[in-house]
Chains A and B, each alone.
Chain A
Amino acid sequence: MKPWLKVLATLLLLYTIVAGFLFDVPRLNIVNETIRALYFHVPMWFGMVVLFLVSTVYSIQYLRGPSIEKDIYAVEFANTGLLLGLLGIVTGMIWANYTWGSPWHGDPKQNGAAISLLVYLAYFVLRGSVENEDQRARLSAVYNIFAFAAMIPLIFVIPRMTSSMHPGSGGNPGFNMYDLDSKMRMVFYPAVAGWILLGVWIASLRIRVRIIDEKIQNLENE
């Protein structure tokens, strides 16, 4: 990752945290100050989806022309995506605790989120149970692509078809309705970019460590 991107990520997240907690937000019943979750919870989900998408793209590339590096890329992007997904679900639960009255409300969106995390946990279980490296990479790449295809209806389509209390679905207004003077957008869009960049940064560090590990192992084997 380029150094200026790292600086940008740091600045954007600093801005998100300072502005997210201090700037003025619309006053609304029930939601009140918890509307600030928009700057943390929603961008984390965006980041998760982006990272999973990148992971899937690397899996497709792996199948087209296998190499160890592509496999490492796919795994580490999935790993970081899982981390952001967990953070997203925890921040969502904190928000739900104050607005819905309990952290886990059995809302379709929450269930969909939990299941999509299960998909990636299953992905790591699959990787753990295949001994042969080559076969592990290929099988997990296939599962990664298949799981991503099956996840799309789960987190994008079904929650929109069922009644949900989540803002932005089931007839509930999203933040477009509250944010009449576009003040929230000033923080929201930088936050999205910042969290995605942070995810890519973490993933790129892990990928470098893994590739160095791989090289050391090759040297030891020689």
Chain B
Amino acid sequence: MLSRVRNLLFKELTLELRRKSVISGLLLYLFSTAFICYLTFSLRQNQITPLVWSALFWITILFTVINTVAKSFIGEKKGRDIYYYSITSPEAIIISKVIYNFLLTLILSFTGFILFALLLKNPIIDLGLFSLVLALGAMGFSSSLTLLSGIAAKANNSHILMAVLSFPIIISVLLIVVKVTKNCIDGLDRSVSTNDLVTLLAINCLVTAASYLLFPYIWRN
């Protein structure tokens, strides 16, 4: 099981590095969005209150991540399913996809943060806590969106469906993340955010377990 997951993960990473167009496309997407934010506020940098910054940042990350994770199943060729079916188990596939999406989301979140800090400004006081929030948020996004991408890939007009299905599921993660980001901006003591972070971790575990249990049913056709 573990070796299968490792092999599949390795395959995903190799594929990603081989066709660099996808990852560079996503980075460009991120850069364009951040740049639009910068241009919109160009001469009025002082009007970006911490709350505006947090809203812009999470909207950018959310849409980039939905696009990133959506391609994990929607982009797959039809016949390849059958090949995987013959060589490995669905559990290995979903776990490797979740881990892979987590790594990708993590990279994109940190790149997004650096871009926002460079182009706009950096209102975050507690950087350590914020990194933890980014990591937990990336975990939440990747675990809940991967299964939805699998569902959407089987249906018609999957790109629209992906956004529709994911919004209500992702919102509980998003609410907590936005709340803790505000705490990081205000530089509150870390003990204030502990409760929220534990809840976020619990939601992540719940969603990952649900994906693990449910994926075998949507995989087989």
Contact = CB atoms under 8 A, between A and B. Distances in A.
B132 interface: no
A141 interface: yes
Contacts of B147: 142, 146
Describe A's contact surface by its main secondary structure: helix
A119 interface: yes
B151 A142 contact: yes
B168 A122 contact: yes
A138 to B, nearest CB: 6
Contact of A161 (B164, B196, B214, B221): B196
Given A115-B168, A153-B199, A142 B161 contact: no
Given A142-B217, A161-B199, A115 B151 contact: no
A206 to B, nearest CB: 24
Contact of B217 (A118, A129, A138): A138
Interface residues of A, number: 30
Contact of A153 (B154, B161, B172): B172
Contacts of B23: none
Given A130-B155, A135-B154, A153 B168 contact: no
Interface in A10-25: none
Interface string B138-149: 000000100110
B193 to A, nearest CB: 12
Describe B's contact surface by its main secondary structure: helix
B195 A143 contact: no
Interface in B148-195: 148, 151, 154-157, 161, 164-165, 167-169, 171-172, 175-176, 179, 195
A157 interface: yes
Given A126-B155, A130-B154, A115 B171 contact: yes
B187 to A, nearest CB: 20
Contact of A129 (B144, B157, B203): B157
B6 to A, nearest CB: 26
Contact of A139 (B151, B157, B167, B179): B151
Interface string A123-135: 0011001110001
A125 B169 contact: no
Contacts of B164: 122, 125-126
A90 interface: no
Contact of A147 (B168, B179, B199, B202): B168
Contacts of B169: 119, 146-147, 150
A152 B205 CA distance: 13
Contacts of A130: 154-156
Nearest to B153: A139
A119 B176 CA distance: 18
A5 interface: no
Contact of A122 (B165, B210, B221): B165
Interface string B98-138: 00000000000000000000000000000000000000000
B210 A125 contact: no
Contacts of B202: 153
Contact of B211 (A146, A147, A158): A146
Nearest to A141: B217
Contacts of A115: 168, 171
A57 interface: no
Given A146-B211, A150-B172, A154-B172, A118 B167 contact: yes
A150 B207 contact: yes
Interface of B: 144, 147-148, 151, 154-157, 161, 164-165, 167-169, 171-172, 175-176, 179, 195-196, 199, 202-203, 206-207, 210-211, 214, 217-218, 221
